[in-house]
Structure 1
Amino acid sequence: MSRPAAPDDEARAVAERYARRDAQADARRYGLFDAAALQAQQERLRVMVALWRAHGWDDLAGRDLIEVGCGAGGNLLDLLRLGAEPDRLAGIELQAERAAAARRLLPPAVKLIEGDATVADVAPASQDAVLAFTVFSSVLDDAAQIRLAHAMWHWVRPGGGVLCYDFAVDNPYNPDVRGVPVARLRALFPRARAEVRRVTLAPPVARAVARLNPRLPAWLNALAPLRTHRLCWLEKL
C-alpha cells in the first residue's frame, strides 16, 4: 500500500499537473467568448444565487468570503459583481503566475494569498463562505483531500458554509483529475448540511454543439442526465 502524500508533496504534485496544461488553450476554452463556457458560467451564477437565497442571504454585503484555488481571479470578480465587498474578499492560489494574474485583475483591497491552502494563515471561524471550484478534482491523494477539507471547514463560522463546484465523473482523457461525486463531498464534510444542485452540460458536448449553434448548450442543459457537475452548499450549523 502506498503511503499518503505529505502536504508539501501533494502541493508540488498539483502544481506540476497544472504546469502541464496549455495555458493558452485553457484561456480560449474557458474564456467567456466561448459559447459553452459562457453558458456554464451564467448557469453557475444563477444556481449560486439561488442556493444563497434559500439559505436566507439577500446579498453578499458584510460577508467574509474566501476562494481556495482562485486562479486568475475570475470567480472573485463574479463575487464582486454579486455585491461582495473587496476588503472582505480573499483568494488563495498555489501557482505564482496565476496569483499574479489575479492581482492585476482585482481591486487592491482584495487579499490574495499565494501558497498551499492547508497551511494558509486564515483565522478559525472567520468566513461566511469558503469556495472551492474544480479544486478537489485536482487533488488526487485522499489524505490530502481530507486535510484541505478540514482546513476549509475550520475557517467557516457557524451559519456559513463551503461552496463546492466540481465534476462528479472521471475524465478518461485526463489522468491529472478525478471525479468528485456527492458521496465524496459528504464524506469530506461529514458535519455539514448539504444542498446539491446538478449543473453544467458535459463540456465536450457543450463545446461540440456550440460550434453548430451558440444557443444549443443552453437548450441541451435542460436535460439533467447531460449535466456532469455538482454545485454543493455545505452549511455549518
Structure 2
Amino acid sequence: MNPPDHTSQEQDRIRAVYQQWLASERVSAYAWHRPDVLEQSAARLRVAGQMLAATVGADLAHARVVDVGCGSGGFLRQLIDWGADPARLAGTEYQPERLALARQRTAPGVYWHLGDLDFAGDGSVTLAVANTVFSSILEPDARSRLAAEMWRIVMPGGWCMVFDFRYNNPNNAEVKRVRRRELAAWWPGQECRYRTLLLAPPVARRLGHAPHLVSALLTACVPALRSHFVYMVRKPG
C-alpha cells in the first residue's frame, strides 16, 4: 500500500477552504473599495516597493519573477506597472478560476501555471514571491517543501519574498501564522530583511471611517498592532 500523499491532501483542503470562502459573506470584508482595504493595500505596496528597490533593484526590467499562489495576478500586474517585463514573469496557482482571471486581467506574455513549481529550473529566477500562501498551509512538512522549492528555483544572489500573517486569527482555524524562526530555518541566507506592517484588520475595520491620521499613528506607534510582515532573504552565491 502506498503511503498517504500529505501534500496532495493539504492542497485539496486549501482548495475546499477557498471555495467555501468565496461562497460566504466573508468575501465582502475584503472588497477593494472599503476604506480599510484601500489603506492597507497602499501600505503593503509602499513597503514591498521599498524593499524590492533596496534588494532586487529599482530596475525590474530584467528580473525573472515567479509569484507562488498568484491568485488573480494582482502582484504581477503591479510589478509590470513598476517596469517588469511580462515575458519574464510567471504565476502559479491551484485554483483554476483564479488563474483564468489572472490571464484575463494581465498583459500578454506572463506565463501562468496551474500546479506546483515543477516547471521552473534550478536557479532560474531572480525573485520567488509568496503572498499570504504559507499561512494557508497548516501542515508543517508541506510548508517546508514549498519553501525548499522556492529556494531551489532562486538563482545564487536572488531573493525569496514573503508577505504573510504575524498572528493567528481566533475566528479562522484554516490559517496559521508564520513565525520568524520558521523563515530563518527554511532559507539559510545571511542577508535578510523583515518589516512589520498593517493595522490588525479588526482594528482597521473599526477605524475605517475615522481620519486617516488615527490609524496611521496606531500603526506607527504600536508595533504589536501590526498584523503582517514582509520578509526578504538572499540566496548565498
Instruction: Decide whether the 8 Å contact of 1:137 with 1:179 is kept in 2.
Output: yes
Q: What residue in structure 2 maps to residue 227 of structure 1?
A: 226
**DSSP 3-state at the match of 2:128:** strand
Distance across 1 between alignment mates of 2:27 and 2:74: 12
1:178 lines up with 2:181 in the alignment: no
Distance across 2 between alignment mates of 1:202 and 1:137: 16
Root mean square deviation, CA, Å:
2.0
Give the TM-score of the pair, scaled to structure 2: 0.91
CA 1:212–1:22: 2 relative to 1, 3 Å: farther
CA 1:75–1:23: 2 relative to 1, 3 Å: farther
The residue identity in structure 1 corresponding to 2:181 is A
1:236 lines up with 2:235 in the alignment: yes
Question: What are the superposed Cα offsets for residues 2-56 of structure 1, whole Å, 9 maximum, x if unpaired?
Answer: x986221111111112122035756543343122122222112221222223226
CA 1:142–1:32: 2 relative to 1, 3 Å: same
Structure 1 residue runs of 4 or more that deviate by more than 6 Å after TM superposition:
none
Distance across 2 between alignment mates of 1:217 and 1:5: 45
Q: What residue in structure 1 maps to residue 113 of structure 2?
A: 113
- Identify the range of structure 1 (20-29 vs 40-49) with the bigger mean alpha-carbon deviation: 20-29
Q: What residue in structure 2 maps to residue 123 of structure 1?
A: 121
Distance across 2 between alignment mates of 1:56 and 1:101: 28
Question: Unaligned regions of 5+ residues in structure 1, if any?
Answer: none
Distance across 2 between alignment mates of 1:43 and 1:28: 20
- Identify the range of structure 1 (147-156 vs 220-229) with the bigger mean alpha-carbon deviation: 220-229
The residue identity in structure 1 corresponding to 2:163 is Y
Superposed displacement of residue 203, structure 1:
1.0
Instruction: Decide whether the 8 Å contact of 1:139 with 1:145 is kept in 2.
Output: yes
Superposed displacement of residue 228, structure 1:
1.2
Q: What residue in structure 1 maps to residue 140 of structure 2?
A: 142
Distance across 2 between alignment mates of 1:25 and 1:194: 38
Distance across 1 between alignment mates of 2:26 and 2:191: 34
Distance across 1 between alignment mates of 2:152 and 2:121: 8
Question: What are the superposed Cα offsets for residues 125-169 of structure 1, whole Å, 9 maximum, x if unpaired?
Answer: 111111101000000000000110000110101111111000111
CA 1:30–1:70: 2 relative to 1, 3 Å: same
1:17 lines up with 2:29 in the alignment: no
**DSSP 3-state at the match of 2:207:** helix
The residue identity in structure 2 corresponding to 1:16 is A
Give the TM-score of the pair, scaled to structure 1: 0.91
CA 1:5–1:34: 2 relative to 1, 3 Å: farther
Distance across 2 between alignment mates of 1:16 and 1:89: 28
Distance across 2 between alignment mates of 1:129 and 1:75: 13
Question: Unaligned regions of 5+ residues in structure 2, if any?
Answer: none
The residue identity in structure 1 corresponding to 2:103 is R
CA 1:100–1:215: 2 relative to 1, 3 Å: farther
The residue identity in structure 2 corresponding to 1:170 is N
Instruction: Decide whether the 8 Å contact of 2:21 with 2:27 is kept in 1.
Output: no
Superposed displacement of residue 114, structure 1:
0.9
Instruction: Decide whether the 8 Å contact of 1:221 with 1:227 is kept in 2.
Output: yes
Q: What residue in structure 2 maps to residue 52 of structure 1?
A: 52
Instruction: Decide whether the 8 Å contact of 2:193 with 2:233 is kept in 1.
Output: yes
**DSSP 3-state at the match of 1:128:** strand
1:217 lines up with 2:195 in the alignment: no
Instruction: Decide whether the 8 Å contact of 1:5 with 1:143 is kept in 2.
Output: no
- Identify the range of structure 1 (98-107 vs 203-212) with the bigger mean alpha-carbon deviation: 203-212
